[in-house]
Amino acid sequence: MTRPTDDADGTGEQDDRTSADSDTSPRGGERSALTDSISGGSRRDFLKATAGASAVAAGIGFGVSGSASAGIPTPWLERDGNLIRDPSGNEVILRGVNIPDLKRLNSDNYYSYSVDEYITWATNGNSPPGTEEENGWYSRVIRLPVQPVDIGGHDPGAAPPAPGFDQGQLDSYLENHLRPAVEKCAEQGVYAIVDYHRHRGEHDETLHYTSDEIDEEIRMFWETIAPEFAEDSHVLYELYNEPTAPYADETDPTSDSEAAQETWTTWKETAQPWVDLIREHAPRNLVLIGSPRWSQWTAQAPNDEFEGDNLAYTGHVYGQENMRPLSASFGEPGEEVPVFMTEWGYKNGRAPYLSGTTDEQGQQFQELFENYPLHPVPWIFDFRWTPQFFNRESRDDFELLRNNDTHGGLVKDLLYENRNSDLPSGDGGGSTTTEPPTTTTTEPPTTTTTEPPTTTTTEPPTTTTEPLTTTTEPPTTTTTEPQTPDGTALLVNDYDGDPAWSGENDLGNWNGAGSFANDDGEVVDGELVLEYDGGGWFVEQVNRDVSNYDQLVFSVRGASGGEGSDFVLDVGGARAQFSSVAGSAITTSTADVAVDMAAAGIDRSSPGELRFDFWGGENGTSTLYLDEVRFE
């Protein structure tokens, strides 16, 4: 959410901790060996040359329910005012789903299924195993989030530095994950949105969309990706998932205020060269343009459009009350410009920005899509990233969440009911090229890396992961002057319910967690309970100078004792196994466990956020009970 739950989030955007980005395909070394045997020619030439064999291989290995019906034609699409049309002039509305980051799916052994299988399940009347219903899934577009955190192999749960990857890592991701996914969409007869899925970083100026660092990263991305799919009629480009900051705080994006207009102007002046860059390499692909504050500034697009042909705009929204009515934020803009809702959803009981019910928020979304020509692409076709469509009890036992607390069932029904509506015409699905599309093997990935999986499902989506309250932005976190202790500690959080977990701590900064056995943790009797099984992340943002304090103190206990070896503490530029920097061990009784910040190498002048990374520890299974976090 990701978003953002990421989760942020609760949405779940994250990253893959398998070895940096080797040139190993989901199937192992076979593809690399084949590639090495080809001298001369482009990657595209090689893929076309091997397309026939791949297509044959695609017929085996899937645990798919239902029969695979044909996909839809996927001709080039063009903008006509606020509408999208095919070459015959038919109005086209693309309805589909998001899937998790491609490398995460292919490389994280916890998933056990590959990108190919996810795309198959989401299309042409198929379903994940265990969810067999009379009517399957009919996505007509698949959004493919390509995360810098995954491309570069960074730790999950936070925005990576920029640039978050180098050219070699991007090339590897393209070869092993993105190109095969795009070809799989062509095989299934559905459109693909290639999404540069950068988000978060609102409190780090080097991660603002106006920074030189982001400019370098996004140019590298689109200079590589845009020409790669310039001849694929079924591919759309999403410029920038969620640019986030800078934006005018406490400003209604739908207003005609000077602040709202200035935010849009800053974004447009910054991003126009990126749009031009894509167009230089890819003249025909539709380009979808986000906006500041987690792509929520959509209403300003009709007032001052970007320059160029075949441009559309995106909107992201979950349960945020300040984005209601949805008609004003997204529907009315969609009457003037094309709007793709590339993230939306809800999950009751989560952070306020994400929480909602089918009876209320679900009904609002249904009315939005019934009354306006928007393109609905909800977050997320998964069982881990939030707000998810499924639970999974075992590898082959998915459960569709069809209830009042989340939107999985609503989305499936929306896609089924519109499976024959607003479709392009033509002779068949796939790309306009005559060569059959290549696909990656359908067997589950066979990576045997010993590194722990890095699925931080709870971070969104892009959107979903960023905590949005009534202001839609976490509290500002500029570093303050050092505070002089007056004999009392500086309290970070005592988990007493004021403020409630999660979203804000006692410093007024954001906090959150995800990928635990109990989702993003829960507060029980004044303790934050984190149940883990080899993974999970926990964050308390500090974002102030604590130079006048010596110790970081955790009042904590564990279900078994000795839990300090199961996670890594990451704060103020220092990263180490908790047990190696703590002055005492975690026991089964609540006690203060202190970290000497100077000895641990923590930069007290700029601690940033304190984080527990349970993928970086010894892959233990237990429960941690946090009573209090403070500086002394």
pLDDT of residue 353: 86
pLDDT confidence tier of residue 402, bands split at 50, 70 and 90:
very high
pLDDT of residue 394: 86
Structure-model confidence comparison of residues 35 and 2, the more confident one: 2
pLDDT confidence tier of residue 9, bands split at 50, 70 and 90:
very low
pLDDT confidence tier of residue 69, bands split at 50, 70 and 90:
low
Q: What is the mean pLDDT of residues 9-27?
A: 34
pLDDT of residue 44: 39
pLDDT of residue 12: 44
pLDDT of residue 427: 52
Q: What is the mean pLDDT of residues 408-428?
A: 92
**Taking a C-beta distance cutoff of 8 angstroms, is the pair 9, 3 a contact?**
yes
Cβ atoms within 10 Å of 278's Cβ, excluding its own: 21
pLDDT of residue 617: 76
pLDDT in tens, 570-610: 999 999 999 999 999 999 999 999 999 999 999 999 899 99
For residue 523, the 8-state DSSP code is E
Look at the alpha carbons of 386, 391, 394, 397 in this order and tell me if their dihedral is positive or negative. Answer: negative
pLDDT in tens, 283-311: 999 999 999 999 999 999 999 999 999 99
List b or e across 14-34, with b for residues whose CB sees 16 or more CB atoms inside 10 angstroms: bbbbbeebbebbbbeeebbee
Mean pLDDT, the chain, whole residue set: 83
Please say if the pLDDT value at position 114 is more than 60.
yes
Among 125-134, 144-153, 222-231, 567-576, where is mean pLDDT lowest? 125-134
User: According to DSSP H, which parts of 132-211 are helical?
Assistant: 148-151, 167-173, 179-188
Strand stretches in 253-349, DSSP E: 287-289, 311-317, 339-344
Q: What is the mean pLDDT of residues 144-152?
A: 98
pLDDT of residue 246: 96
Cβ atoms within 10 Å of 70's Cβ, excluding its own: 11
Q: Give the domain 70-417 fold.
A: TIM Barrel (3.20.20)
In the block, tokens 């299934």 appear at 188
pLDDT confidence tier of residue 102, bands split at 50, 70 and 90:
very high
Most confident of 76-85, 100-109, 494-503, 538-547: 76-85
If we measure between CA atoms, which residue out of 247, 235, 138 comes closest to residue 195? 235
Please say if the pLDDT value at position 29 is more than 60.
no
Three-state secondary structure of 49-98: HCHHHHHHHCCCCCCCECCCCCCCCCCCCEEECCEEECCCCCECCCCEEE
pLDDT of residue 109: 76
Instruction: Tell which CATH classification among 2.60.120, 4.10.410, 1.10.10, 3.30.1240 matches the domain 475-631.
Output: 2.60.120
Q: Is-same-fold flag (70-417; 475-631)?
A: no
* All structural domains of the chain with their residue ranges: 70-417, 475-631
pLDDT of residue 437: 34
pLDDT in tens, 195-209: 999 998 888 899 999
Structure-model confidence comparison of residues 395 and 167, the more confident one: 167
∠ Cα 464 467 468 (to 5°): 95
How far from 483 is each of 202, 488, 547, 629, CA to CA, in Å? Answer: 24, 11, 8, 17
pLDDT confidence tier of residue 174, bands split at 50, 70 and 90:
very high
CA dihedral 383, 157, 500, 203 (to 10 degrees): -140
Which token pair is 402? 């069809």
Please say if the pLDDT value at position 137 is more than 70.
yes
Structure-model confidence comparison of residues 337 and 515, the more confident one: 337
Q: Strand pairing of 287-289 and 235-238?
A: parallel
φ and ψ of 309, to 5 deg: -95, 155
Which token pair is 346? 């809800």
If we measure between CA atoms, which residue out of 89, 91, 100, 85 comes closest to residue 6? 100
CA-CA distance, 66 to 89, in Å (whole number)?
A: 33
